[in-house]
A and B are shown apart, each in its own frame.
Chain A
Amino acid sequence: MAITYIALSTTTVGSGGASQVEFSSIPQTYNDLKIVVSGRTTQASTADSVYFRFNNSTANFNARVLYASGSGVGNFTDTRYAGSEPGSSATANAFSNIELYIGNYTTSSNKIYLVDSVTENNAVEAYTYLAAAQWSNSAAVTSIIVEPNAGTFVQHTTITLYGIKNS
């Protein structure tokens, strides 16, 4: 049986940090994509957002986000939402666990993706997020940029892109 779940590329941020991580020239031979992020930002917060660009576009994204903080639940809308990660105010060495599933990324229809994300923090404030998101564009996704809302990714942030085939 064919291997259907393949790591296409992985980036581990070095000591200088990184303002973004880009996966370019994404092969068009898979059906779905998955991105896994273990990340942390220099932004002074306990949890801050991570954002996408598809094909370097920042337009026509929309997301609905449901979250739990440990003391309540809430929800909000966003544009390029791609998860959340601890900032410099969070417990040292705590990184996010973000999983993104992008369905039918080569289709001419809008691209829908889901986000599961946690930001652990050894204090009262920590979050779990679920998001449904969409890029309304007919172009196939050929490149993806992952970037913090503010600040930069710290050293040891690791982002991996997987390709998933259905046959």
Chain B
Amino acid sequence: MPATYDSIATTTVSGTSTTTIALTSIPSTYTDLVLVTNIKTTNNNNGNGWIRFNSDTGTNYSQTRLYGSGSGAGSDRQTGTDYLNLNVGGFNNGILSVAQIYSYSNTTTYKTVATRINTPDAYVSLNLGIWRSTSAISRIDVTIFEGYINAGSTVTLFGIKAA
């Protein structure tokens, strides 16, 4: 039986001077991608980060979020952003996020992403986003807004084959 769930790249942060983790030269031989991030930062509190594809800093991203905090539930939407949201943890604890990136290598459709963001002490959310580009995704940048990525944080990209 062929292996259909491969680890393409992984980064474990060892210092405290990193703000961006770049996954480059992503092969186009898979059907979908799964990006698993468990990031904590040098900040005291949880914070925000982003995902960008192919270094595109244009306002070509949109996203709809469904969330629940334990005391309230709701939805919000961002259009024309230059990133897709990704929450990151504070100093002690990471935030586990799993992003499914569908049909990333096709060159005819925009790319859709479903991200499960898990902040156990704050909220749970599902973000559905789109990158309005027909380019195949060959690079993913994971960046935090404030501070630095703390040692022990991990980012792994898996490739999934349909056959």
Contact = CB atoms under 8 A, between A and B. Distances in A.
Interface residues of A, number: 37
From B4, B71, B96, B122, name the one whose CB has the most chain A CB atoms within 10 angstroms. Answer: B96
From B66, B73, B120, B126, name the one whose CB has the most chain A CB atoms within 10 angstroms. Answer: B120
A167 B155 CA distance: 12
B121 A134 contact: yes
A75 B70 contact: yes
A167 B10 contact: yes
B70 A109 contact: no
Contact of B72 (A75, A101, A116): A75
B92 A109 contact: yes
Given A131-B124, A134-B121, A65 B70 contact: yes
Q: Describe B's contact surface by its main secondary structure.
A: strand
B124 A104 contact: no
Interface in B62-97: 66-73, 92-96
Interface residues of B, number: 38
A66 B120 contact: no
A149 B38 CA distance: 29
A165 B5 CA distance: 10
Interface string B102-130: 00000000000000111111111110000
Interface stretch (A1-9, A14-22, A36-44, A45-53): A1-9
Contact of A103 (B38, B68, B71, B125): B38
Interface of A: 1-5, 31-32, 62-67, 73-77, 101, 103-104, 107, 109-110, 112-114, 116, 130-134, 164-167
